Each structure stands twice: as C-alpha cells, then as structure tokens.
Amino acid sequence: MSQQSLTPERARQHWADTYRLMWIVLAIWFFFGFVIHLFARQLNEIVIFGFPLGFYMAAQGSLIAFVVLIFWYAARQNRIDEDYGVAEDQ
C-alpha cells in the first residue's frame, strides 16, 4: 500500500498507534530518568560488583536503559509503519 492510498481511517489508526508508543516511551524514559533516582538511598543498600546500585543506576544504568529504549522505539515504530504501509524503505 502506498502512502497516497492510505485511507483517513487507517491514517488515524496509524497516528493512534504512534501516539500510544510515544507515551509508553516517555513513561519509560521518565521512570529511568527521574523515578529510579528518587530511590537512590534504598537502592544503595544493594551492592553489585562493589558498587551500590543507586550509584550504578545514576552513573551507568539509566544511560544503558536510554540506549536500549532508543533502539526498541525505532524497531517498534518501523513495525507500525510497515503495518500501515508507510515505511520509509518500501
């Protein structure tokens, strides 16, 4: 299906799926960017490889989560675009 033949109803559904994915990604980003750091004291009681977990999440864990989130988001958005026939490489 080419982009020109995308019906208004399918275009609305495509946007709804994209919109839902955006909010999921923002919620995960918020969790790893802010919420996890609110519990740093409690997390510091857990030690991994000699480092408190609160320190690890602030120094490395959140960054790793963000990189994984970017790749997951790109793959999921590509799948949504392919489902509606609007993928860039079609």
- pLDDT tens-digit series, residues 63-81: 999 999 999 999 999 999 9
52: left (phi over 0), alpha (psi -120 to 50) or beta: beta
**pTM, 2 dp:** 0.80
- pLDDT tens-digit series, residues 18-65: 999 999 999 999 999 999 888 888 889 999 888 888 887 777 888 999
Residues 6+ apart with CB under 8 A from 1: 84, 85
Q: How far is CA 16 from CA 3, 9, 53, 54, 78, in A?
A: 17, 11, 37, 36, 15
